[in-house]
Chains A and B, each alone.
Chain A
Amino acid sequence: MTAVPAESVPAGESTTGEPSGSPPWWSTALHRMTEANVAVVTVLAVFCGLVFGAILIVVTTTSTLHAWGNVGSHPWHAISLSFRTVGTAYGDLFIGSIFSPSALGHAVSTGHGWVALFTPLSETLVAATPLILAGTGVALGFSTGVFNIGGQGQFIAGALAATYVGFGVHLPLPLHVPLVVLAGAAGGAVAGFIPGFLKARTGAHEVIVTIMLNYIILDLLDYLLTTKPLQAPHQSNSISQTIPSSATLPHLFGSGLRVNAGLIVALAVAAGASWFMKRSTLGFTFRVIGSNPDAGRTAGMDAKLATILVLTISGALVGLAGMSTLAGTDFFLSSGYGGGTGFNAITVALLGRNKPSGVVLGSLLFAALITGGRYMQAATGIPLDLTTVIQAVIVFFVATPALIREIFRLREAGSGKILLFTKGWAG
């Protein structure tokens, strides 16, 4: 492992070059906005992602493509049509995820539909819930030098365990729900333990093992969905039994909005993880092992145990994410459950610079993209996959702050370089 070069020392930096008292606030603000700090880089990365998405829309939409084909004769038409098309698509992103002006108009004029007004926000929060949980899990791994790409498998494992406990156990809600939550964590923990154990014992690289486990668990789910007791009775399709209402996460704002107690679990986990990494002794051990395992060993830390623990905990959090969607909104399993949550967890962890608070903000952003993307797909026919592309572009830029700095000619600053953790294949 290459030592991480220490970032420039912030102490004393703010006082240099400012001999006569503090400058006016606007000057400071301007100064901060033109240097490549974390916030500026992130905002510009999101901007670049949206620009890339816009270009993609223009070059793949028949009408705009046609207009650009005639750009010689009607230049203005091509430009305005492109802006209109992209504007409509991105407008739908916003309407679908945050707030719809027409719904407000409807509610004001009729006095009804106030709940519908908050539906987009509620949906964004619903989508953010698993992202916060899984993203925090992945971030925990990152800061310990472990790359958990097994999100998809751990997500399914968590959901699977939650489903079994959901329909297999009969308890009143106050007991059943906590048990389902625990089962989700346990399911994910098992799926995380395997790569952790293999890495610690044999040096198998967790990147390959976790990816392979994703496919294995997908196959396992397919198998279980065709067998008793998981498969819904009298069904030939591969879907599971539905969990009873005693096992579902209660809604927070009435049955009209889907936002549920899973969000509370997610925020509590994020807060707990933040404390854990900053203040707990185990979190300190994790951070030391993450940046210099040799020094950790020399100081008496057990690097192998830390690797196993962190992947298990990371898996447990991703498992909670699977539980949160299953017991919060879906209530039954189907083939390929969870889709891209594993990947999204990686992107929000990177976007949030491995800090739980950052993960929460990143999750809200990507949740809005996903929720809005669904609305956009329905309204304009532009595929939801566009948001995956936008997310990937954003993370490219977040992972290479130097690129943003060059494109936008920003001054150098602590741009939150992502911790370097690659250790090669031999572990």
Chain B
Amino acid sequence: MTATTMEAHVAPAAPEGRLVSVARVRGMGIFLLGLSLIGVLGFGFGVSGSVHATFLLSSPPAVSVSPLDMPVRGVCIPLAVVCALLGAWLVAAPPRRGSYAIFGAGVVIFVWSFRVWAARGGSLDFVQLLAGTLVSATPLVYGALSGVMCERSGVVNIAIEGQFLAGAFLGAMIGSASHSLWLGVLAGAASGALFGALLAFLSLRYGADQIIVGVVIVAFATGLTNFLTAQVLSPDQATLNSPNTFDPIALPGLSKIPIIGPVLFNQNVFVYGAAVLLVVVHVALFHTKWGLRVRSVGEHPRAAATVGIHVVSVRYRNVILGGAIAGIGGASFTIGSIGEFSSNMTAGLGYVALAAMIFGRWRPFGALSAALLFGFAVSLQSFLAVLNVGIPSPILSMAPYVITIAVVSGLVGRVRPPAADGVPYVAG
């Protein structure tokens, strides 16, 4: 980046952290046009005109709603037309701040018509699909927030996967042994923080390469949890690896709202915790003195140092806090949903969380939308496996990973990380 650009040359609407390019927006438009073609030919005319699809919309404790019954062709073709119009607009109109939102809307419309097509001749539990999305997205939100905390202060935390594993392991073990799920959460946070501290110690004090240390932490956590599972948990599964899981808490009143009630307001503490943490991190990062200092350290540590900010302490604090957040996210794998630890159970989602953070441009709410997208892919995949749409399940399970690659290779445009991200700070 050239640090200096003349006033007159600045693009009218260059949103922070993203460089709008004409070619990219045009590409997105063409992509939407392609999708609408699939929508018309594949979903619309791919089925006979009489086939219907049913979306089940009721789920306790919400007020009951009757299922939505739709003709597949009758719905998919209009949706494809809307998608095509959006695509055409992107191709024709100059790039603007809203270009990405339009693209997002187009993709959502396509996915919607895909769902209608997938449920052809049968029914799809729409509420469960959305609730599943939220559940799948939750650990990703924690992981992405961990990444935001670390990278906004200038330290690349590629060890999220390892912190997930450690949090999942210790959360299950302590939650099981102590019969207190809250102690499990605490243990998960502590284990994540410990690995955060290790990353901070080796990279900040000794200047070790952050990516190498991060990758080795993942390997270390994988080996250690595997070892301890075999050596400690397995022989004593009943006492050490059988924690309960947090029950959903129905928020009075709100959970009764049709469709969104059960999705948003009948979840367990991990989901609510993620929501609270999102708001807290966002507000703290962008509206407080603390956040201003953290961001200055991540962007230009020397500038921060010259106004008396202690760069290394800020980074230590953030990396350890970030580790704790990832650790809680890890605990959600075991005491949040499955109820026991098994080897490598996080299956690379720590890296997906990292991609969500990048997709979200190092912003909490950006990361949330990315996490929801991934969560939806995961949730949809398990639903499609049940619906038996004729796509083999290994191929379906690639979806989140393929989306991640698409995301990092520029569907979102060239992203701009904090300027000092991953760069060791040397005083003087």
Contact = CB atoms under 8 A, between A and B. Distances in A.
A and B touch in the complex (CB under 8 A): yes
Interface string B185-214: 000000000000000001000111111110
B227 interface: yes
Interface stretch (B123-131, B285-293, B390-398): B390-398
A266 to B, nearest CB: 22
Contacts of A215: 347-348, 398, 401
A383 interface: yes
Contact of B227 (A56, A212, A343, A425): A56
A426 B420 CA distance: 12
A226 B392 contact: yes
A391 B224 CA distance: 11
A421 B215 CA distance: 14
Contacts of A425: 156, 358, 415, 417, 421-422
A274 B147 CA distance: 38
Interface string A194-229: 000010011111011101111110011011001000
B30 to A, nearest CB: 16
Interface in B393-410: 394-395, 397-398, 401-402, 404-405, 408-410
Contacts of A389: 220, 223-224, 227
Interface residues of B, number: 52
Give the interface size class of chain A.
Answer: 35 or more
A3 to B, nearest CB: 11
Interface string A387-426: 1110111011001101100000000000000101111111
Nearest to B154: A424
B378 to A, nearest CB: 12
A347 interface: yes
A350 interface: yes
26 contacts: A60-B228, A147-B211, A202-B414, A203-B414, A205-B408, A208-B355, A211-B348, A212-B348, A212-B404, A216-B402, A219-B395, A220-B394, A223-B395, A383-B230, A385-B224, A385-B226, A385-B230, A386-B227, A389-B224, A391-B223, A392-B216, A399-B208, A420-B209, A422-B156, A425-B358, A425-B415
A207 B409 CA distance: 12
Contacts of B354: 208
A198 B410 CA distance: 9
B97 interface: no
Instruction: Name which of A388, A402, A425 has the most chain B CB atoms within 10 A of its CB.
Output: A425
Nearest to A57: B231
Given A216-B401, A386-B227, A391-B223, A202 B410 contact: yes
A392 B223 contact: yes
A269 interface: no
Instruction: Name which of B156, B211, B215 has the most chain A CB atoms within 10 A of its CB.
Output: B215
A21 to B, nearest CB: 38
Interface of A: 2, 56, 60-61, 147, 149, 198, 201-205, 207-209, 211-216, 219-220, 222-223, 226, 343, 346-347, 350, 382-383, 385-389, 391-393, 395-396, 399-400, 402-403, 418, 420-426
B415 A346 contact: no
B351 interface: yes
A396 B202 contact: yes
Contact of A204 (B210, B231, B397, B405): B405
A424 B348 contact: no
Instruction: Name which of A56, A215, A347 has the most chain B CB atoms within 10 A of its CB.
Output: A215
A306 B421 CA distance: 24
A378 to B, nearest CB: 13
A329 B423 CA distance: 44
A223 to B, nearest CB: 4
Contact of A208 (B219, B347, B408): B408
B232 interface: yes
Given A212-B351, A399-B209, A425-B415, A383 B215 contact: no
Nearest to A147: B211
Contacts of A426: 414-417
A204 B223 contact: no
Given A204-B408, A216-B401, A226-B392, A422 B209 contact: yes
A202 B209 CA distance: 24
Contacts of A202: 409-410, 414
B158 interface: yes
Nearest to A238: B394
B113 interface: no
A212 B401 contact: yes
Contacts of A420: 209, 424
B215 A149 contact: yes
A394 B156 CA distance: 22
A326 B162 CA distance: 30
B206 A388 contact: no
Contacts of A226: 392, 394
Instruction: Name which of A2, A61, A220, A223 has the most chain B CB atoms within 10 A of its CB.
Output: A223
A404 to B, nearest CB: 10
A60 B219 contact: no
Contacts of B422: 422-425
Contacts of B379: none
Contacts of B210: 422
B241 interface: no
Interface in B225-253: 226-228, 230-232
B222 interface: yes
A16 to B, nearest CB: 26
A106 to B, nearest CB: 31
B410 A213 contact: no
Identify the 8 closest CB pairs spanning chains A and B, nearest first: A388-B223, A204-B409, A392-B220, A202-B410, A383-B230, A385-B227, A223-B394, A385-B226
A2 B402 CA distance: 32
Nearest to A65: B232
Nearest to A388: B223
A418 B219 contact: no
B424 A2 contact: yes
A399 B397 contact: no
B408 A209 contact: yes
Contacts of A201: 409
Instruction: Name which of A205, A208, A226 has the most chain B CB atoms within 10 A of its CB.
Output: A208
A264 to B, nearest CB: 29
A383 B232 CA distance: 10
A203 B410 contact: yes
A383 B225 CA distance: 11
A48 to B, nearest CB: 13
Nearest to B212: A399
Given A215-B398, A389-B227, 8 more contacts: A212-B355, A215-B347, A216-B401, A219-B394, A219-B401, A222-B394, A383-B230, A389-B220
Nearest to B392: A223
Interface string B308-339: 00000000000000000000000000000000
Contacts of B213: 396, 399-400
A2 B301 CA distance: 14
